Chain A
Amino acid sequence: MKNVTHSFVFLAHWPSAGSFGLNTDILATNLINLTVVVGVLIYFGKGVLKDLLDNRKQRILSTIRNSEELRRGTIEQLEKARIRLQKVELEADEYRMNGYSEIEREKANLINATSISLEQLEKSKNETLYFEKQRAMNQVRQRVFQQAVQGALGTLNSCLNTELHFRTIRANISILGAMEWKS
């Protein structure tokens, strides 16, 4: 209010000009203004600021406590996870070793089975070849014999005459007489 009063006084000194004037003591005016403002703020804002700071403090403390709890929980979980990891690693090693053993066993079984199959196939092949060979030989033999018999029959039919028939009959009668028949 002092500044306002001072301004009106300044205007009274220059009534003929009819306009505002400038205060040459700028530094003093600003300092005073600042002092007033700060004083008002301090007086009225002290309580509010205190409350705000207290709330802020409480929230920070609460956050710190929560963070601490989370940290402890996380550490526990980390420890458990580490233990589980160690256990899982052991199990993995065991599975790996068992897997290797299983693979070796399966490989051996497969090799044995394949060997047996090969032997069976070889045996079957040999048997088939032998059978086909025997069949072919039998067919050839039968064909040759058949041709021989047909040839013999042809010769026989062409050579047989009445005299030979009678000679054959009499020879058979002699054979019949020589047999010891048992009825």
Chain B
Amino acid sequence: MTQIVREFENAFNSLTGTEVATVTSVVQLESQDLAQIAQQVQNLTGAKNVRVKTRIDPELIAGFTIQYGRDGSSLIDMSVRKQIEEITSEFEMPAVTLDV
């Protein structure tokens, strides 16, 4: 049943030109922030419509990530965790345990 629903949803989105974006953040985002994110995704993808889903992940420390595209193949990572990891890699450091 779940598979059927998913396939139906994909077909519907394809027919209606809708892009699904999953936004993951540490805290629940406000509607205006979600709207701005949806606007950015529409600009990126050129889709007629953008449907936003939200998830909560404290491990991001702060900020958010946007996953979109078919099967979530595209990712925009604006989290603090990623920035810290980038800084760590620049210093050729071993992986630092990020205790949130």
Chain A contact residues, CB within 8 Å of chain B: 141-142, 145-146, 149-150, 152-153, 156-157, 160, 162, 164-166, 168-170, 172-173, 175-177, 181, 183
Question: A138: nearest residue on chain B (CB-CB)?
Answer: B92
- B25:A169 contact, CB within 8 angstroms: yes
B98 at the interface (CB under 8 A from A): yes
B75 at the interface (CB under 8 A from A): no
| Contact A176 to B40, CB < 8 A, known contacts A166-B27, A170-B33 | yes
- B43:A181 contact, CB within 8 angstroms: yes
Chain B contact residues, CB within 8 Å of chain A: 25-27, 29-30, 33, 36-37, 40, 43-46, 61-64, 74, 76, 78, 80, 84, 87-88, 91, 93-94, 96-100
Question: B96: nearest residue on chain A (CB-CB)?
Answer: A149
Question: B91: nearest residue on chain A (CB-CB)?
Answer: A145
Interface centre among A166, A168, A181 (most CB of B within 10 A): A168
Chain A: minimal CB distance from B12 (Å): 22
Contacts of B97 in A (CB 8 A): 150
- A142:B63 contact, CB within 8 angstroms: no
- A172:B64 contact, CB within 8 angstroms: yes
Contacts of B78 in A (CB 8 A): 172, 175-176
- A149:B88 contact, CB within 8 angstroms: yes
- B96:A146 contact, CB within 8 angstroms: yes
- B94:A142 contact, CB within 8 angstroms: yes
- B61:A157 contact, CB within 8 angstroms: yes
| Contact A173 to B91, CB < 8 A, known contacts A153-B99, A156-B80, A168-B63 | no
- A156:B62 contact, CB within 8 angstroms: yes
- B45:A183 contact, CB within 8 angstroms: yes
Question: A177: nearest residue on chain B (CB-CB)?
Answer: B40
- B100:A157 contact, CB within 8 angstroms: yes
- B93:A145 contact, CB within 8 angstroms: yes
Chain B: minimal CB distance from A155 (Å): 12
Question: B69: nearest residue on chain A (CB-CB)?
Answer: A183
Interface centre among A145, A152, A160, A173 (most CB of B within 10 A): A173
Question: B32: nearest residue on chain A (CB-CB)?
Answer: A170
Contacts of A164 in B (CB 8 A): 62
Contacts of B64 in A (CB 8 A): 169, 172
- A168:B80 contact, CB within 8 angstroms: yes
Question: A149: nearest residue on chain B (CB-CB)?
Answer: B96
Contacts of B37 in A (CB 8 A): 173, 176
Question: A163: nearest residue on chain B (CB-CB)?
Answer: B27
Chain B: minimal CB distance from A179 (Å): 9
